Structure 1
């Protein structure tokens, strides 16, 4: 089974506008729609994908979760959104009312800082409700945004939130692999492998060592669709020289176990 842990999606009418405003040098490879993602998954041999939706402002939280809660559960795993400017109870209701199973945090686009007491309170509530979290960790924005999601905050964040299931995107340190190795590798999180424009541009020996030092059973594959081509990212993981057991775990087995997903046979759609 192959599961992609990192796929951003938007309603069809929004996807084009959102992707037109990406940072220079980070152009979308695919269209950001649910139908586009399904076609990509079929072509790449991906069984399931975590579909991520992020509300940049508090007033968009409920309608964003309404959208992501309506995805096809046979292929998609809905990860929705929260915002620290909303009361904790309102955030939780917006998730639970729409059957959203997880949360995506994005310090680059939201007012979400790993050092913020409001965020830690919110994560405590999510942990108590058994709701897993995936978050952008590292750089990729301006100085303030990079500070909000800095790798060095991660160990304290996780240690201070008992029971939290946390997936740190981009090996826990986008654009700063040194910081990821210092702060995220070995922390009580799952690391996710995406690194736009491609994880294949990183030194294979270094990535293989990071995976093994952290624990290959706590690393999950993600593409960061639509900014990358998942087929190429899967090929890059397969070229790392992992054992068959390590590779199978990273590409899907570890995430299936983490989210309680049972293996199913993929049905290719026309």
Structure 2
């Protein structure tokens, strides 16, 4: 089984034709992805409430899709309204967690507004995928340690800050790591698994910005054992997101 915990739907502001949900579905079919957790690009880069509701209309297109509600730390009143409305009734089954992008929201992970946002998603019982880059992977671990019950997933595993992952894992036992990156460095996945074990890492692609083949190639290069492969490709995600 293969679960992609970091993907997107909608038009990017780059010169790419990836706006249609059909692009997501094509990736699922080509690479055998069984479940994909998606957030709306509109919600991340422009308007969270509008983007979240646009995504809600797209999720029924394929049963393999699950939504990630984007929370803007600058607009927490609107975020609470989104959570109340989108998670109500039968809609809850369509949403797996929350997504916060620290850079597009101009909210550093170390700041009080970011902690307040993670306190909000924790209140609603949602694991939260947060964009991390460089040393901010340590900042996210510190937030997880401060917020009781928080469950956070470091998107990109810090990217260029990936050597800090073992330290982040020591700072909190409620942070997990997702290693997709557009310019991956060799051997980083194997290096980290050898230091923290397989129970804190999950597979993600950053589709539709990046073709899933990049993340799959990095995973293959890590030469996972069968136990590591099962943990990273699906078991950890199933446990964290209740899939």
> C-alpha displacement at 1:211, in angstroms?
1.9
> C-alpha displacement at 1:68, in angstroms?
1.9
RMSD: 2.2
Unaligned 5+ runs, structure 2? 88-94
Does 1:221 pair with 2:209? Answer: no
Does 1:114 pair with 2:97? Answer: no
State the aligned residue count: 231
> C-alpha displacement at 1:127, in angstroms?
0.7
Does 1:82 pair with 2:71? Answer: yes
Match of 1:125 in 2: 120
> C-alpha displacement at 1:259, in angstroms?
1.3
Unaligned 5+ runs, structure 1? 21-27, 140-148, 262-270
Runs ≥4 residues deviating over 6 A? none
Q: Which has the higher helix share?
A: 2
> C-alpha displacement at 1:94, in angstroms?
0.9
SS of the aligned residue for 1:162 comes to: coil
Match of 2:9 in 1: 9
> C-alpha displacement at 1:8, in angstroms?
1.6
1:133 and 1:167 in contact (8 A); partners too: yes
Match of 2:138 among 132, 152, 158: 152
Match of 1:248 in 2: 230
SS of the aligned residue for 2:159 comes to: coil
1:68 and 1:79 in contact (8 A); partners too: no
Match of 2:193 in 1: 211
> C-alpha displacement at 1:89, in angstroms?
4.1
Q: Supply the distance in 1 between the matched residues of 2:71 and 2:55 (Cα, whole angstroms).
A: 13
Match of 1:164 in 2: 150
Q: Supply the distance in 2 between the matched residues of 1:233 and 1:83 (Cα, whole angstroms).
A: 27
2:137 and 2:154 in contact (8 A); partners too: no
Match of 2:218 among 230, 236, 255: 236
**Distance verdict in 2 for CA 1:241–1:191, change over 3 Å:** same
Match of 1:92 in 2: 80
- TM-score, scaled relative to structure 2: 0.85
